[in-house]
Homo-oligomer: A and B are copies of this chain.
Amino acid sequence: MTDTDLQSYKPELPSVMVDDAVRAALREDLGRAGDITTLATIPPDAMANVIIASREEGVLSGMPLARAAFRAINPDIQFETLIDDGDTIAPGDVVARIKGRARDVLSAERVALNYLGHMSGIATATAQFAAKITHTNARVCCTRKTTPGLRAFEKYAVRCGGGANHRFGLDDAVLIKDNHIGVVGDIARTVETARAYVGHLVKIEVEVDTLEQLASVLPAKPDVVLLDNMDAATLRKAIALVKKLNPSTKTEASGGIKLDTIAEKAETGVDYISTGWITHSAPVLDLGLDTSIV
């Protein structure tokens, strides 16, 4: 049985994190005077029936934030989730139905859509990469190349799109690169030094550029090796070396991963393929709000 045979639960975002982020986003949009267009033109007691619908094909992500945006404006707003994060959506699909005071609904709309579009864009990009390598055992994973302030949400969106998460920050896993090796001098001993520092509940990954570096680090039994910028042929040799010298070490490929090249990399037998593109450059997924005010 491999890891990917197991059906994992969908990820969840802690509500304490969601609520605070959404309130800050609303304050950013409402500024000091609030939604002056709505206040000037919509009667206070007008009600709105709204749907959020997809205009594109993709994978949904961000519904808890969208819901929280409407509820933070007014807890009396009814927000019915029709499609869940992680589900595939097509143009025209209605993902939520919202009912409430028209002023409140319109004031929360843009924040809700900005979260949904951004996160669904990341989920969709991740799913597109993942779809190219379903015939392999490799998984797409993310990096720390995320938008400042949004890391937890973007990593959650990667999960929604079927990707795996790399470390969430500088503090939850060790990733040793060229710069870090100078001290001890020796790559394997650097790994051992790091392991002594961080203890037994932190994984250690080492970035290598060449097969020689790889051969020298494997005796230190790193948990993961990051095979950076290797072509498919070199990757195959690297993976063979790992299988031979320390098969429990996981392998990760990185460097210029593109939609049309990922399959070639995945077919080398590498375990993970990481790309910053899915978090820092994925275009938004187009979702919109259709309103009827009564």
Residues of A within 8 A of B (CB): 1, 3-6, 8-17, 20-44, 46, 72-74, 102-103, 106-107, 110-111, 113-115, 117-118, 121, 139, 141, 144-152, 155, 164-176, 179-184, 190, 192-203, 205, 221, 223-224, 248, 250, 252, 271-272, 276-277, 280-284, 291, 293
Contacts and interface: CB of A to CB of B under 8 A. Distances in A.
Given A32-B28, A280-B283, A281-B121, A72 B200 contact: no
A170 B33 CA distance: 8
A41 B180 contact: yes
Given A147-B150, A201-B166, A252-B200, A16 B40 contact: no
Contacts of A115: 148
Given A31-B168, A179-B106, A149 B203 contact: no
A11 B24 contact: no
B272 A280 contact: no
Given A14-B34, A36-B197, A118 B147 contact: yes
A40 B155 contact: no
A113 to B, nearest CB: 8
| Most chain B beta-carbon neighbours within 10 Å: one of A41, A74, A173, A181 | A41
Given A106-B179, A183-B43, A197-B9, A284 B280 contact: yes
22 contacts: A9-B39, A14-B34, A14-B107, A16-B30, A31-B31, A31-B169, A32-B155, A32-B171, A33-B168, A34-B170, A35-B171, A36-B198, A40-B193, A41-B184, A114-B144, A114-B148, A141-B199, A165-B199, A166-B201, A179-B291, A201-B205, A281-B284
Contacts of A114: 144-148, 280
A36 to B, nearest CB: 5
B103 A117 contact: no
B165 A33 contact: yes
A199 B164 contact: yes
Nearest to A178: B291
Contact of A30 (B29, B170, B179, B196): B170
A32 B194 contact: no
A63 to B, nearest CB: 14
| Most chain B beta-carbon neighbours within 10 Å: one of A13, A111, A169, A293 | A169
